[in-house]
Amino acid sequence: MIRVTVDLPGRAYDVLVGRGAVAALAEMLPAGVQRVAVVTQAGIEVALEPGVPMTRLEIPAGEQAKSMQNVEELCRDFARAGLSRQDAVVAVGGGVVTDVAGFAAACYLRGVDYVNVATTLLAQVDAAVGGKTGVNLPEGKNLVGAFWQPAGVICDTDTLASLPDREWASGRGEIAKCAFLERVPGEGTPGAALAEKDLVEQVAYCVSLKAAVVAADEREGGRRMLLNYGHTLAHALEAVSLAGGPVDLRHGEAVAVGLMFAARLAQRLGRIDDERVAEHRAALDAFGLGGDMPEGLGADDLLPYMARDKKARHDLTFVLDGPKGVEPVLGVAMGDVVAVLGEMGCAR
């Protein structure tokens, strides 16, 4: 078992990574908790022993579940279950569950404790850690939410055994992203060493990296933006999908496309060379990922969502590779973005 501490100013919490980690749920709950509301989805069956009475609540499956309506329903369910400010929410599932349950916990009684039990690779390496909670709007992904840190996170790798192939790919997209965040330019091939680690080590590596970034910048004022590498386009692709567009990508699959786009945009801006672009492709290959733009999209389908990305400051903002590594770049010209989208197959 690997224990990673997210050491925030004035408070800290642990992330447990390993086989059988869910057995530690009771010790993860804050002292004095007398009841928990377990938020999950149909088909997710994880044996829980919180040591106190629990009420099971289910939200719908799919990204569409990340809605204000479902947050309201959960809060009403918490009230009907008699949940008090001294009790806790336990989110059991993937990123949709941890995002929605965490936001509901942040809102209910102006904030109750919650613990994440992450059951997908994507949630274990990213979504369940760091305290970002939220839901989508028709205008974009994750536009409403709160920074609300969990009391603890459990990443039991045994729960991943039944994941379908595309859910594995979704998580590996985020792992591939992590391969670039602490890389010194010119030193080694990104992704190769990380891909060779065993599963527990990969999850712990990503959690440790995110813990360090979150501890330094909890509310995404600067350094935490790096965790969104590849995500400006990825979130736009997901938003197009939610609006009924010609996109069928899991989050990590969209991140893979976003990583290739970010590399090619950085190349166009003179920040990296051909070799560095090839390294991005090699990193995706190491994790069995694609990175090609879905067919049938135009630049006009994606640009409005990119402009509303939460990193933006009334401009087009991207996290891009460069001589100093990955960093936020503000005020990217729309012509450069459209040109790279065109190179990747989007109609202009």
Identified catalytic residue from 66, 172, 228, 238: 228
Active-site pick, 174, 238, 253, 279: 174
Residue 224: active-site member: yes
Residue 311 known to be catalytic: no
Residues 199 and 207: their CA atoms lie apart, in Å, by 12
Q: Residue 30 carries which DSSP code?
A: P
141 part of the active site? no
Q: Check if 314 is active-site.
A: no
Asked if 2 and 9 count as a contact pair (C-beta separation under 8 A), the reply is: no
Catalytic residue among 66, 251, 264, 311: 251
- Tokens describing residue 271: 């920040």
| Catalytic annotation, pick one of 224, 264, 276, 280 | 224
Per annotation, catalytic residue among 110, 314, 324, 348: 110
Q: Are 137 and 145 in contact (CB under 8 A)?
A: no
DSSP class of 271: S
Of the listed 66, 141, 183, 235, which one is catalytic?
Answer: 235
Which of 95, 141, 182, 128 lies closest to 6 in space, CA to CA? 128
Confirm whether 210 is a catalytic residue. Answer: yes
CB burial of residue 290 (10 Å; 0-12, 13-18, 19+): middle
Q: Which of 132, 141, 183, 276 is catalytic?
A: 132
Q: Which two tokens stand for residue 95?
A: 């990123």
Query: What residue type is 311 in one-letter code?
Result: K
Q: Catalytic residue at 110?
A: yes
Catalytic, out of 231, 250, 264, 310: 231
| CB count in 10 Å sphere of residue 270 | 9
Q: Is 280 known to be catalytic?
A: no
CA distance 108 to 127: 21
Q: Strands 140-147 and 132-137: what pairing? A: antiparallel
- Active site residue: 172, 177, 210, 310, which one? 210
d(CA 56, CA 44): 11
- 66 assigned to active site: no
Catalytic residue among 220, 238, 253, 279: 220
Is position 231 annotated as part of the catalytic site? yes
218 carries an active-site annotation = no
User: What are the catalytic residues?
Assistant: 110, 132, 174, 210, 220, 224, 228, 231, 235, 251
